[in-house]
Chain A
Amino acid sequence: MKKVMMGNHALSFGAKLARSRVIAAYPITPQTQVVELLSEMCADGSLDAKFIKVESEHSAMAACIGASVAGARTFTATSAQGLALMHEMLHWAAGGRHPVVMGNINRSMAPGWSIWADQNDSLSERDTGWMQYYCASNQEVVDTVIQAFKVSEALMIPAMVILDAFALSHTYEVVDVPDQELVDRYLPPFKPAIKLTPDDPRAFGGLTGSEHYMELRYKLQKDMEKAPALIEETGREFAKAFGRHLGLLDAYRCDDAEFVFITSGTAGYTARAAVDDLRAAGVRAGNLRIKVFRPFPFAQVREALRNVKKAAVVDRNCSYGAHGIFYQEVKSAVYGEAGAPPILGYVAGLGGRDITVDSFKEVAAHAMSKERADEEIVWIGVKK
């Protein structure tokens, strides 16, 4: 069934179709419509879930962890300051192997107060052990929530489904809402092998000495490494059931491309329009949108850049004192590869500043004038 809906409601529909059983959430702009719709769904009985209206994001994630370890499929959503407040619990969810799925609306971190998009909130959580999916359309949001549960529960690793503030969260798009029966076939009920129950009493997360801790984290990393293949496999399965492929990367006109943008989020769709314009002007351009940031698809990025002559990573984020964060990862993906193309790093769109087709053209013009990267960060659209 096709519906026109905002990105936030796409998250709610994803959580509903996945038959989330416990939702614990706290409101924050620009996430509020996610929880408003979910609480309506719980109230009118169209979703059989417990909605816990907690008093903070920290408690939201704590409650999700508690529900997850008890064996319930668990969903929440937040943004920016809320995500930062959850930080401690994000480690808890991943370290404890609780496959919570969370929507995060990419919003800039204060101060000054900002409600507009950039990625520093979610990328500040890159080392917590959560999978991170960055979406570019509302269709992708609803589909990815369903896929994320499947992957997360197979690996017992939590996942964030991430969308840009306003550019997606409040943008109405046409969404083909997946059929519930097909979703049920694609995503069976959550049945963890070990859970918190008096029938099999165990203590979870107790004091762990240095003789054990490292092995437990080694296991987390090893399972994370299984995720790229599983995301591709479940993405193909999704395509079979719903006609839409969900993968690690979204390569647009990259096959014969000499120059590619490397992008994420909604900017990764705007870049397509820029690619079309550049192609019309005779530049063999392409756009490689990175959809899954954690685990980082190193091998796939390396492969995608094999025949490229130059790549420009456009980051809507900045690791202050270093680089744009996708830029760091892309560089490390091709490090040491014979014939790896020069890769340049650009930062644009912080605090919700628009990233336009013209922004990408400016990036392309700059990149093509350079032999190699000679600045740590090239700023786009900043009044220097």
Chain B
Amino acid sequence: MSTEAKKPKKMTLSIPPEELMACGHLACQGCGATMAMRYMLKALGQRTALCIPACCWAVIDGPYPYSSLDCPIYHCAFETAASTATGVKAGLDMVGDTETTVVAWAGDGGTFDIGLQALSGAAERNEDIIYVCYDNEAYMNTGIQRSSATPYGAWTTTTPVKHFKNRPKKDLVGIMAAHRIPYIATASVSHPEDLVKKMKKAKAISGTRFFHIYAPCPTGWKSRPEDTVKLARMAVQNAYFPLFEIEDGEKYTINLKLKDKKPVDDYIRIQGRFRHLKPEQIAAVQAEVDARWARLLKLAA
């Protein structure tokens, strides 16, 4: 392999080249959450302050006295991402820094479950923060226990195969929409351009902005590390995790229209956490996804 063989052309990168995340971090191989952080920081830039509760990122960033990010971070208590971010924003404002974007960056456990009260409080007050939930659909940092973001059918260490989770994932975006906050978006690590674009849009809005980012976890989903982007893309294309925005709790916009909506079957089959599902159970997943998609189309019409 040699570079002399070909004349290099000028590369056009589809996302900003600036890196605010350094190598050496502690994420597992093929970690979706790590990609989500990298893309968000590319969009928001260095003047970003992060509040990170207990979640994978509490570890990924690196232990004391290190950090992998070139932004200030406050590692906060599990249920306090939104409330700590509220305080950081107020504190920065009062010391004269009104420019820094304050981000609460939490996993699904810290958002859907233990941090929901603080998030709801911050959203109701319309605090001037961006709240990002990177969703890997279980408590991965503690070793794959079910959260209320765990989808129907999934195995976790607390929903063993014989008693897999038989309730659907909580509709968090719906809950956030009910708060009538100025901006809500879903995003996926398979679509970094879309993520960066929406994050930049959110940065220019004031008030509470909420992102739900789909972040596959090879460790917890029992999938191959190299399939992380593929799985995320499949989830977008089969409407398992559609990409859309909600402005002011009302105006729904679907960012990626699905002309040819794929079935969930392939997506389910390449993840070990769903291995036990029988065809009729997969059909139930399909029915749920179809119903959610139909509802979204109606809301966005």
Within 8 A of A (CB), among B137-184: none
* A-B CB pair tally, cutoff 8 Å: 174
Whole-angstrom CA separation of A56 from B86 in the bound complex: 13
Binary flags per residue of B68-96, CB closer than 8 Å to A gives 1, else 0 = 01111111110110111111111111110
Interface of chain A residues 40 through 65 with chain B (CB within 8 A): 49-50, 52-56, 58-60, 62-65
Does A89 belong to the interface (CB within 8 Å)? yes
Contact pick for A68, options B62, B91, B121, CB 8 Å: B91
- A338 at the A/B interface (Cβ < 8 Å)? no
Q: In the assembled complex, which residues on chain A have CB atoms less than 8 Å from the CB atom of B86? A: 24, 52, 54, 59, 62-63, 66
With a cutoff of 8 Å between Cβ atoms, the chain B residues found around residue A55 in the complex are 117-118, 120-121, 124
| Contact across chains for B117 and A56 when beta carbons are under 8 A apart | yes
B223 at the interface (CB under 8 A from A): no
> In the complex, what residues of B have CB within 8 A of residue A282's CB?
none
A21-B72 in contact given A63-B84, A69-B88 (Cβ < 8 Å): no
For A201, give its contact among B72, B76, B89 (CB under 8 Å). Answer: B72
- A134 CA to B67 CA in the complex, in Å? 40
Complex: how many Å from CA A70 to CA B85?
10
Whether A67 contacts B61 in the complex (CB less than 8 A), given A54-B121, A62-B76, A205-B75, comes out as: no
Given A66-B90, A198-B48, A59 contacting B83 (CB threshold 8 A):
yes
CB-based contact A197/B97 at 8 Å:
yes
Distance of A59 Cα from B75 Cα, bound (Å): 15
Q: Which residues of chain B come closer than 8 Å to A59, judged between CB atoms?
A: 80, 82-83, 86, 117-118, 121
The one of A49, A66, A195 in contact with B76, judged by C-beta atoms closer than 8 angstroms, is A66
Task: Give the interface residue-count category, chain B.
Answer: 35 or more
Residues of A within 8 A of B72 (CB): 196-198, 200-204
What is the bound-complex CA distance between A58 and B117, given in angstroms? 10
A369 within 8 A of partner (CB): no
| CB contact under 8 A between A204 and B90, given known A53-B125, A59-B80, A59-B83 | no
Once the chains are docked, how many angstroms separate the CA of A74 from the CA of B90?
Answer: 10
In the complex, residue of chain B having the shortest beta-carbon distance to the beta carbon of A200: B72
Q: Which residue of B lies closest to A51 (CB)?
A: B90
> Is B47 engaged at the interface, CB distance under 8 Å to the other chain?
yes
Shortest distance in angstroms between A218's beta carbon and chain B's nearest beta carbon?
15
* Nearest-neighbor residue (CB-CB) of B51 within chain A: A66
* A204 adjacent to B87 (CB under 8 Å): no
Closest chain A residue to B67, Cβ basis: A203
**Inter-chain pairs besides A22-B91, A69-B88, A198-B46, 6 sampled, C-beta below 8 Å:** A52-B125, A63-B86, A66-B89, A89-B77, A198-B47, A206-B65
Q: List residues of A whose CB falls within 8 A of some B CB.
A: 21-22, 24, 49-50, 52-56, 58-60, 62-72, 74, 88-89, 92, 195-198, 200-209, 212
Q: What are 5 inter-chain pairs, A to B, with CB distance below 8 A?
A: A55-B118, A71-B95, A88-B77, A204-B73, A207-B58
Interface residues of B (CB under 8 A from A): 46-49, 51, 58-59, 61-67, 69-77, 79-80, 82-95, 97, 100, 117-118, 120-121, 124-125
